[in-house]
Structure 1
């Protein structure tokens, strides 16, 4: 019943890969982030290398995490007991965890243990719902225009819209252009054009093991409410399936009922909720030495 942590992605894959892929829909965040790091390098998300971990229970891996500083720790499906033990482990290792994301049970248990060691507060910064595509239902009638793959000529616009989406969502923007360039090169970014002008964008992570996640979907503020987001999401969803994805997933912000209703109209079905909390008000350097 111990946690093992490492910065070695191959060790993580060997130990926890089968566990994560046994429930790939629930573990889409960990799987897609791990795949991005393997493709783009250890510094994809920050100057510090990612940290990985897994826990054994009765000889089998029953929990895992992936952390790409300075972003929050990503938790797999796990029990409250496992999540609390992970907070203990990272405290003993003196890791300055900024936050944690996963299902409510695991996040609540991790946060309670973390605050007991370090004090401060845990503030909820994101509540989202995971959806999976059932039968695709494109909008009818759709808006004027059509979808097309983004090309390198669209690179500046796509980078701008990725950053704008991150600002709207309150999340960290891409660290650099690598992940965006990779998606453009592999046809994983679609633009909706109306009268020859791009008016909306949708992208997906790529069908790693047949699973892909739609992210982000973005329409500039002055062009919203015209059906562009639904149309480009439907086109991207069809493209993802046509190119080998047997599961197409997306997260929708629970604070945005319009987006949740839109995705349900397109044929996306609710799977489970996710929460992200951030820690503040404590100095790890002062509290970590006596924690454990």
Structure 2
């Protein structure tokens, strides 16, 4: 088993192109982070590499501070947990800072005890993929793209989503800036009732080579149970598949089985699990 580090994120993308394209829905976070920094030089806070055996990748990793360390491996690869253990020891011994871990369950179980410290789980998720849309029942109203006038509402809903989904409260400015960029790129979708009241939100802001990532799915509590989120997500899927994307993908909270069933009804299937752990600050390197 050999560890290979890359000089740039672009080198990581090129050397692992076959792997990334074959498993792109599962590796979308690592791939997206590498693409965002492709022209930069790697350093401990922007670290990309892999563990390999006979030249074939066992485990891909990317550490892009302030985001979590992300790990990916071939589904069912029995040697990948051992590689995750070796990576944890290497990072700890080298004094390389991580803020947390994002990986499937078996990789988390191998990495966390080897790294040491105290981690707390933020979310346990299922990565879901849709290739063929099953049309949902139509709710009264329609889906539209968000516009700058919606920014105040989007900021409020984005903050509520963060509190509910990951139990964190980012700054209002941070969420406002994020949604301002999304609106400018026309990647935010709202379900609007016939009277013009917006009642649900979803975004498609992660473009993959063959797919489209969906996130920020949120409906205020008073509007839940009417199929608005399902219709909004279905509209995004309909649009992206018509544009030539082969699939759409989203992350669903394991603690919310109702959402899981709702998405399965329109054609989503579970691809892989994905757990998000944060390292307690006092245990950081």
TM-score over 0.5 for the pair: yes
Q: Deviations over 1:5-29 (max 9, x none)?
A: 4573223223333322232122122
Aligned partner of 1:183 in structure 2 is 182
Task: Tell me the C-alpha RMSD between the 2 structures.
Answer: 2.7
Q: Does the Cα contact within 8 Å between 2:192 and 2:198 map onto a contact in 1?
A: yes
Q: How does 1:126-137 map to 2 (within 5 A)?
A: 126-137=123-134
The alignment partner of 2:275 has SS state of: strand
Q: Does the Cα contact within 8 Å between 2:5 and 2:48 map onto a contact in 1?
A: yes
Q: Deviations over 1:182-215 (max 9, x none)?
A: 4333332111111112111111134321222110
Deviation at 1:228, TM superposition (A): 1.2
Deviation at 1:3, TM superposition (A): 2.5
Once the two structures are overlaid, the 10-residue window that deviates more, 213-222 or 13-22, is 13-22
Q: Does the Cα contact within 8 Å between 2:122 and 2:278 map onto a contact in 1?
A: yes
Does 2:152 align with 1:156? yes
Cα distance change on mapping 1:169 and 1:74 into 2, 3 Å: same
The alignment partner of 2:135 has SS state of: coil
Structure 2 gaps of 5+ residues are 75-79
Does 2:276 align with 1:279? no
Does 2:86 align with 1:85? yes
Deviation at 1:169, TM superposition (A): 0.9
Deviation at 1:252, TM superposition (A): 0.7
Q: How does 1:232-247 map to 2 (within 5 A)?
A: 232-247=232-247
The alignment partner of 1:135 has SS state of: coil
Does 2:260 align with 1:264? no
After TM superposition, the score normalised by the length of structure 2 is 0.84
- The count of aligned residue pairs is 274
Q: How does 1:52-67 map to 2 (within 5 A)?
A: 52-67=48-63
After TM superposition, the score normalised by the length of structure 1 is 0.83
Structure 1 gaps of 5+ residues are 43-47, 286-292
Runs of 4+ in 1 over 6 A off after TM superposition: none
Aligned partner of 1:19 in structure 2 is 19
Aligned partner of 2:47 in structure 1 is 51
Alpha-carbon distance between aligned partners in 2 of 1:276 and 1:196, rounded to the nearest angstrom: 37
Aligned partner of 1:145 in structure 2 is 141
Q: Does the Cα contact within 8 Å between 1:77 and 1:102 map onto a contact in 2?
A: no
